[in-house]
Each structure stands twice: as structure tokens, then as C-alpha cells.
Amino acid sequence: MKILIVGGGMGGTILANNLARRLNGELKSGGARITMLSASDKHMYQPGLLYLAVGRMTPDELYRDQAGLLEPGIEFHVDPAEEFQLDHNRVKTKSGKLYDYDTLVIATGSRMYPEGIPGLAEHAETFYTEASALKMFKRLQEFQGGRVVIAVGVPHKCPMAPLEITFMLHDYFKDRGLGDKVQLHYTYPINRIHSLENVAKWAAPEFDRLGIAYETFFNIKEVDGKNQILRSEEGAEIKYDLLIAIPAHKGMEVIEKNGLGQNGWIPTDRQKLNMEGRKNVFVLGDTTNIPISKAGSTAHFEADTLGENIAAMVKMGTPVRDYDGKVFCFIEAGKDRATYAMFNYQNPPDPKAPTKAVHWFKMAYNKLYWVSARGLL
Amino acid sequence: MPGKTVVDARGSFCPGPLMELIAALKSCQVGDELEVLSTDRGSANDIPEWVRKVGHEHLATHVEAGVWHITVRKAK
């Protein structure tokens, strides 16, 4: 079986390594072949951007060489896909090469799209790329006081990011002795401060205790940069001195260009993870349109399921289990405390009070990620 | 010709049915109808409340085999 994985992010990398181990014998005998196409020779630990934005990580800590993360036997090419010729079971790349497959996995991820809101890209700080996170940190360093507004677009990568950045900004300014001069003003699109009800119930009293103001039912409409005013679809206005945005995201352009899914999200079966209408095309991570968190852990657990299933299809001709919607998210509650949320399609999360122990576990995971990406954890 | 979009948010705890609706509305035209499918009881209250606040129209809500069907029209 020729397995082609498009995308070298968390989902694609874990899946490739998982499959290479499960299909070790088949790779040696020629019964299976695993090829990965990626746009970059580097692999970024994206959750690290949150720390980069507040000066708690440096850019070099975010990256490893992609080839070095992959098991021997995986063919890796830095040659991004440009045309998905699904009716012919092949993908054409930027270099012009054609890659045939028996099974295709699309894991191209997502990107922030601040351009969708007038004024947002020009006037808000963000932290979803290395360059924007560095720029944001420099703005924070220059900031001497005033109202910092946190604004949230939908959908976005990492559902915990709005809360985490707010807690971390609180501690950042407090450490600089600016606690009394900075007012944090958090906004959120729905009628509570986080989409997960139990997370919102935990976080609201924390915000109250820390003096963080919040406003719900606030969907970003436009930014008036000249007058430093943020306006909502609901008709509210907030004056800001510094605007931090979690912009709405889209899937990658190549998905839209190929007509695989509106806004770059591919319609995907939530249990089998195959692209709707295509039995030999699977979708992982942010790229799916499944209504669950766009998070690394989602991609990770989907990749575990898909690894088992594709290997079983090679060995037995049939998949063995369904993806149950499992997601696990750490939630940083400041510079030295954290909690977590774990849930699936059937069971909502029930986060506990933050502790230092969970924070240190998250700090350890920031390093252990590289073991995770190798498919070992 | 306005269309009807189904937002299948069954089993969604995070980001949740209302967030799925907000995201889906961006891709629709004024006049389009959207039907949200949700297994979350709270959505039956949250969605109409938000829809009214923003100025869209809440057309109907009904429950069928444990799934809430909430229909709205994009009005602006």
C-alpha cells in the first residue's frame, strides 16, 4: 500500500511515525511505502508561541529538523502539494512531481486570518506565527500602562489560548510592577468567558479575583485604529491602548483552491476520519470540519486512531476502531499554575483548580513534545 | 436564491454549537437559513439569545431523538 501524507505538522508527523513502527516489516518487504510531503524542512512546536509572546521562550526552542523527527523508512520531501487529483489517486506538488497513492492523508493545518476583519491585521498584536509573537513581545516590553483588550475570533486554533494569554499577561505586567497601571479587558464571542461551560465556571471567579474585566457576547466587527476603538457585531465599543487578538482561522489556501472544503476545512467523518465521499482519503487535525477543538492534542489522538486503522487495513484489510473525539488541553492559569480539560464526544470536561504541579507538567510537556512527535508518547 | 446550511454540532463541547454557528454564519449570505444540530441542551437557550442580540432571526427550535434542531436566518 502506498501511503501519502500531506502535511508535516503534529498530526502528519505522529501518524507517519506510528505507521512506520506498525508497518516495519511491510516497509522492509515492499508491502507498504510511506511518503510525507511538507512545505518546510522545519517542524514548529506551535504551543510554544504563547510563551514566546510573553518572553518565556526563545524562537530556537520552537523548532527541530523535520527529517530528524521521522522514523527511518519514511520518505520525506519538502515539496508542498498544489493539486489534489483525487479521482486519479495522485497529488501534484510545487516542483511539478506527481505522487501516486493508495491511501492519502491530508493534514495541512490552519492559519490565522486577521485580514477578514477590517483593521485587525494592521492594529492588533497576535501570536500565531513566530514573527507576530516576537512583535507582540516587543510591544509588551514598550507598554507602560493603559487598557489592554483581548479580542477573540471564531474559529481559532487552541481554544484555551484566549484564557491562557490573559492570565499570562496579568502575571507579566504584575512582574514588571505595572499591575496597577494596566487594565486587562477580556472579550468573548458567546455568553460566558469560555466555550466549555465548566472551564468558564472556573475561570470567571479567577478573573474576578485578579481584577480582569470581561465582556461576553462580543464578536469582533472592526477595528478603528485611528481612534483605538474595537467594535463588535453586537453593537458594543471598547477603547483600547493595546489590542491583542486571537483572530479567526481558516484552513490552508491549497484546500480551498482545490475545492476540497469551504474555508479550507474538509468535510470529514467524525468517527472514521475519512473525507466525506472518499474511502481512501483521510483528514487529520485542524484540516477537518469536525466540530471539536482545533488543537494539537486533537490531531495527536486522531493520528493514533488513524495509525492503528491504516496499519490494520494493510494487515487485515479493515480498520479496527473509531475516533471517539478525545481531546486533552492544558490550561495555563498564569506563569506558575495550570489545570487541564479532557473530553470526548460523549463526556464534557471537568477542570479542577489550577496547581503548580500541572504547570510543571506542562513545562515538561513542552520538552516531551518532541517525543510525542516521534510517536513514542 | 438563499440556501439552507446544516451546522452539525452534535457531540461538540468545545468550541460548542454556538461557536460553530458563529463561524458558519460568516460564510453565508444575508437571507440564508442555518439549522444547528446540537446534543447540548444549553444551546436551545444560548443560540436564540445570541441571535436576537446580534440581530439575526431565530425561526424555530425543536427536539428530535435527543438532538436540538435550531433554525436561524442571517439577517444582516
Binary contact (B16, A190; C-beta < 8 A): yes
Closest by CA position to A114, among listed A228, A233, A246, A227: A246
Residue B14 in this model has a pLDDT that exceeds 90: no
pLDDT of residue A193 exceeding 90, the answer is yes
Which residue type sits at A348? P
Domains of chain A: 2-109+252-327 (3.50.50.60), 116-249 (3.50.50.60)
Domains and CATH numbers, chain B: 4-73 (3.30.110.40)
Contact across the interface for A293 and B18, Cβ inside 8 Å: no
User: Which candidate from B14, B42, B54 shows the least CB-CB separation from A292?
Assistant: B14
Partners of A270 on chain B (C-beta within 8 Å) are 11
Annotation marks residue B14 as catalytic: yes
What is the percent of chain A where pLDDT is above 70?
Answer: 100
Chains A & B: contacts with CB separation below 8 Å? 72
pLDDT score, position A349: 87
What is the distance between the alpha carbons of residues A26 and A22, in angstroms, rounded to a whole number? Answer: 9
Of B12, B27, B50, the CB nearest to A291: B12
Is the Cβ pair B14, A263 closer than 8 Å?
A: no
With beta carbons under 8 A apart, name residues in chain A contacting B10. 291
Taking 3-state DSSP, the helix, strand and coil percentages for chain B, each rounded to the nearest 5, stand at 30, 35, 35
The cell for A218 is 462580543
Q: What is the CA radius of gyration of chain A?
A: 21
Give the residue, A339 or B1, on which the prediction is more confident.
A339
Contact B46 A191 (CB under 8 A): yes
Q: Give, as one character, the DSSP assignment of residue A56.
A: S
Residue in chain A closest to B36 (alpha carbons) equals A291
Please indicate whether, in this complex, the C-beta atoms of B23 and A154 are within 8 angstroms of each other.
yes
Supply the DSSP string of A173-229, one letter for each residue. HHHTT-TTTEEEEEE-SSSSSSSSHHHHHHHHHHHHHHT-EEE-S--EEEEETTTTE
Judging contacts by C-beta atoms under 8 Å, the chain B residues touching residue A350 are none
* CB < 8 Å to A234, chain B: 53-54
Q: Are A172 and A54 in contact (CB under 8 A)?
A: yes
By Cβ distance, the residue of B9, B13, B18 closest to A343 is: B13
- If you write DSSP's letter for every residue of A68-134 in order, what string do you get? HHSPTTEEEEE--EEEEEGGGTEEEETTS-EEE-SEEEE---EEE-GGGSTTHHHH-B--SSHHHHH
Query: What percent of chain A has pLDDT above 90?
Result: 95
Q: How far apart are CA A26 and CA B73, in angstroms?
A: 53
pLDDT in tens, A333-369: 989 999 999 999 999 888 888 999 999 999 999 999 9
**Interface residue of A221, A233, A324 to substitute, partner B, most B CBs within 10 Å:** A233
Cα separations (Å) of A322 from A3, A305, A308, A312?
Answer: 20, 7, 10, 13
Contacts of A195 in chain B (CB under 8 A): 13-16, 18-19
At A151-183, the pLDDT tens digits run 999 999 999 999 999 999 999 999 999 999 999
Choosing from B6, B8, B12, B14, the catalytic residue is: B14
Q: What is the pLDDT of residue A99?
A: 98
pLDDT at B42: 85
Mutation for testing the A interface, residue in B7, B14, B51 having most A CBs under 10 Å:
B14
Nearest-CA distance B28 → chain A (Å): 11
* Per-residue b or e along A134-158, where b marks 16 or more CB atoms closer than 10 Å to that residue's CB: bebbeebeebeeebbbbbbbbbbbb
Nearest to B2 by CA among B24, B33, B25, B26: B33
Residue reference for cell 516521534: A374
pLDDT score recorded for residue B2: 57
User: Is pLDDT larger for residue A348 or for residue A271?
Assistant: A271
Among chain B, residues having any CB pair with chain A shorter than 8 Å are 7-20, 22-23, 26-27, 42, 46, 49-50, 53-54
B14 and A217 within 8 Å at the Cβ level: the answer is no
- The pLDDT value given to residue A199: 86
Q: Regarding beta strands A33-38 and A338-343, do their DSSP bridges make them parallel or antiparallel, or are they unpaired?
A: unpaired
Residues of A in contact with B68 (CB under 8 A): none
Per-residue pLDDT at B26: 86
- Decide which of B42 and A161 is more confident: A161
Q: Does residue A235 contact residue A139 with C-beta atoms inside 8 Å?
A: no
pLDDT, tens digit (0-9, with 9 covering 90-100), for A86-128: 999 999 999 999 999 999 999 999 999 999 999 999 999 999 9
Q: Do B26 and A116 touch (CB under 8 A)?
A: yes
Q: Do B14 and A195 touch (CB under 8 A)?
A: yes
How far does the CA of residue A189 sit from the closest CA of chain B (Å)? 8
d(CA A159, CA A255): 22
pLDDT at position A50 is 96
Kindly tell me the burial class for residue A324, based on how many C-beta atoms sit within 10 Å of its own C-beta (0-12, 13-18, 19 or more).
middle
Per the CB < 8 Å rule, is A189 touching B19? yes
Given a cut of 80, whether residue A285 has pLDDT beyond it is yes
Q: How far is CA A230 from the centre of its chain?
A: 25
Of B10, B22, B53, the CB nearest to A154: B22
What's chain A's average pLDDT? Answer: 96
Cβ of A189 within 8 Å of Cβ of B22? The answer is: yes
In this prediction, residue B12 carries a pLDDT of 87
Q: What is the mean pLDDT of residues A123-149?
A: 98
